[in-house]
């Protein structure tokens, strides 16, 4: 019997006596996308590659060096040649660990130039263990006693085709490998590990591959179907928030803030329950200046996510700014946005789209938050504005 396995690309690979030249990223991406996590004890197919992609994206979100992003992507790559042996059994298999460690070192050396240092191993393991916690909790439904590890990426356990996952794995690899090798510099014609030359790699994409976005045309159709059935705002906006939260990757909050007019400043209620800071300041200055025109507020509406701030003054925060300027706010890093109002400390990026009544005035905003910096791009903006146009057209705003 042959002492090699034949890989997806047709290479003869000797698992007990591996040749570094036989290690191939296309084989790794393909096989890991077809290997099921948890030895198949999961409710639906979910691959080792999906786990590795989460780890790599988490390393990137933590702004760790490209070398560590790649290490996280490759940390289970030996499984494509040795298979995924459950941890308790692995401990019993004499020699298995040694083979696995040797092969992993070879894989790291092939793509990163050297094996991982002990500190790099510790960092990669920290993310691997965090992802394992969510795998056990959400994929295998195991009770977890510890606190949720702080993750920027929100792991998704939705079924995806292996072809789509394989493509994402390869795109991530190529992007970070390209940057890693270019940062190291060197002769552009030199043969580099893993095949190709620096010249070839320079032609590869220069921005991080995004997770496939939602189908915004489909989302617009879905919200239109809800609106045609029932245009009143409470059910419509509740389902709209649910649709978005469910369809968009790495979103921790999706919902609406609705414009509320200030109470009549001459009424007693306006003093007890001022609707905005403009009125508060006017009240502090005395009854006569309280007659200055106060601004409306944004009041929390239907949403999905953690509990959020109830009132936002017009012009304040990302939501108030979008409403006041009547312009979508696409914020890559909320901590760099002056006056950002933090509701969920996990949020790092935000997009807010104004919603109009039939007379053209701003009557509400759609607000979406993500733990991932730079999560939203102009494509999301166009898609969400299209979604909001449907709400404007069908909802009972007037």
Q: Is 375 in the site for ligand SME (CB under 6 A)?
A: no
Q: How many residues bind ligand SME (CB under 6 A)?
A: 15
Of 90-98, 102-110, 156-164, 340-348, which part binds ligand SME (CB under 6 A)? Answer: 340-348
Q: Which is nearer to ligand SME, 78 or 304 (CB)?
A: 304
Minimum Å distance from CB 353 to ligand SME? 13
Applying CB under 6 A, which part among 94-102, 129-137, 157-165, 313-321 lies near ligand SME? 313-321
Near ligand SME by CB under 6 A, which window of 32-40, 70-78, 205-213, 316-324?
316-324
CA–CA separation, 9 and 146 (whole Å): 42
Phi, psi of 352 (to 5 degrees): -130, 125
Looking at the Cβ atoms of 53 and 241, the one nearer to ligand SME is: 241
The region of 126-134, 176-184, 311-319, 373-381 touching ligand SME under the rule CB under 6 A is 311-319
DSSP for 135-155?
A: IIIIIS-----SPPP--SS--
Contact between 343 and ligand SME by CB under 6 A: the answer reads yes
241 is a site residue for ligand SME (CB under 6 A): no
Minimal distance in Å, beta carbon 290 to ligand SME?
A: 26
Distance CA 11, CA 87 (A): 28
Give the nearest residue (CB) to ligand SME. Answer: 317
| DSSP letter string, 251-278 | -SEEEEEEEEPPPPTTSHHHHHS--SHH
- The torsion angles phi and psi of 292, rounded to 5 degrees, stand at -60, 150
Among 45, 308, 356, 386, binds ligand SME (CB under 6 A): 308
> Does residue number 367 form part of the binding site for ligand SME (CB under 6 A)?
yes
Which residues contact residue 361 at a Cβ distance below 8 angstroms, ignoring those fewer than 6 apart?
none
Q: Alpha-carbon distance 378 to 384, whole Å?
A: 10
For ligand SME, the binding residue among 173, 350, 371, 372 (CB under 6 A) is 350
Identity of the residue, 131 or 318, whose beta carbon is nearer to ligand SME in the bound complex: 318
Question: Cα separations (Å) of 162 from 49, 159, 170, 202, 388?
Answer: 9, 9, 12, 27, 33
Select 47 or 328, whichever has its Cβ closest to ligand SME: 328
Q: Does 37 bind ligand SME (CB under 6 A)?
A: no
In the complex, the smallest distance separating the C-beta of residue 241 from ligand SME, rounded to whole angstroms, is: 11
Q: Which of 28, 80, 319, 384 binds ligand SME (CB under 6 A)?
A: 319
DSSP string over 288-332: TGGGS-PPPEEEEEEEEES---SEEETTSHHHHHHHHHTS-EEES
**With contact defined as beta carbons under 8 Å apart, do 127 and 58 qualify?**
yes
User: Smallest distance from the beta carbon of 372 to ligand SME, in angstroms?
Assistant: 14
Q: Does 341 bind ligand SME (CB under 6 A)?
A: yes
Cα(11)–Cα(358) distance, integer angstroms: 64
Out of 253, 256, 387, 397, which residue is the one contacting ligand SME (CB under 6 A)?
Answer: 253
Helix (H, G, I), strand (E, B) or coil at 174: helix
Which helix (H) or strand (E) segment is 372 a member of?
Answer: none
Angle at the Cα of 383 from the Cα atoms of 150 and 320, rounded to 5 degrees? 65
Closest CA to 355 of 244, 275, 276, 257: 257
Please give the Cα distance from 160 to 172 (Å, whole number): 17
- For ligand SME, which residue of 116, 240, 243, 318 counts as binding (CB under 6 A)? 318
Q: Is 349 in the site for ligand SME (CB under 6 A)?
A: no
CB nearer to ligand SME: pick between 33 and 370: 370
Q: How far is the CB of 376 from ligand SME (least distance, A)?
A: 13
166 binds ligand SME (CB under 6 A): no
Contacts with ligand SME, residue ranges (CB under 6 A): 253, 308-309, 312, 317-320, 340-341, 343, 347, 350, 367, 369
């Amino acid at each position: 019997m042959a002492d090699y396995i034949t890989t997806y690309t047709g290479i003869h690979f000797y698992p007990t006596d591996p040749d570094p030249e036989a290690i191939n990223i296309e084989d790794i991406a393909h096989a890991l996308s077809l290997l099921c996590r948890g030895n198949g004890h999961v409710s639906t197919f979910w691959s080792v590659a999906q786990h590795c992609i989460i780890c790599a994206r988490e390393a990137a979100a933590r702004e760790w060096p490209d070398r560590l992003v790649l290490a996280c992507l490759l940390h289970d790559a030996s499984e494509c040649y040795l298979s995924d042996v459950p941890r308790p059994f692995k401990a019993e298999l004499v020699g298995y660990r040694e083979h696995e460690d040797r092969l992993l070192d070879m894989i790291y050396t092939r793509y990163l130039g050297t094996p991982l240092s002990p500190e790099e191993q510790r960092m990669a393991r920290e993310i691997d263990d965090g992802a394992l916690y969510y795998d056990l909790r959400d994929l295998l439904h195991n009770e977890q006693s510890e606190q949720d590890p702080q993750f920027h990426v929100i792991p998704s356990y939705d079924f995806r085709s292996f072809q789509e996952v394989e493509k994402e794995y390869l795109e991530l690899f190529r992007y970070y490998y390209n940057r890693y090798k270019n940062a190291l510099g060197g002769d552009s014609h030199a043969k580099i590990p893993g095949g190709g030359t620096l010249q070839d790699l320079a032609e590869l994409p220069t921005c991080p591959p995004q997770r496939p976005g939602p189908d915004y045309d489909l989302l617009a159709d879905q919200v239109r179907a809800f609106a045609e059935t029932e245009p009143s705002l409470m059910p419509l906006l509740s389902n709209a928030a649910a649709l978005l939260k469910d369809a968009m990757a790495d979103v921790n909050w999706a919902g609406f803030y609705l414009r509320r007019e200030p109470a009549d400043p001459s009424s007693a209620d306006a003093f007890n329950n001022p609707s905005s800071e403009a009125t508060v300041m006017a009240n502090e200055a005395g009854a006569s200046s309280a007659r200055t025109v106060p601004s409306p507020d944004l009041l929390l509406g239907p949403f999905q996510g953690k509990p959020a701030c109830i009132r936002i003054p017009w012009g304040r925060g990302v939501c108030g700014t979008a409403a006041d300027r009547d312009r979508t706010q696409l914020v890559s890093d909320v901590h760099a946005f002056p006056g950002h109002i933090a509701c969920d400390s996990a949020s790092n990026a935000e997009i807010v789209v104004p919603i109009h009544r039939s007379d053209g005035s701003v009557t509400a905003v759609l607000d979406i938050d993500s733990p991932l910096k730079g999560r939203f791009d102009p494509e999301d903006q166009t898609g969400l504005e299209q979604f909001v146009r449907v709400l404007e057209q069908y909802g009972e705003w007037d």
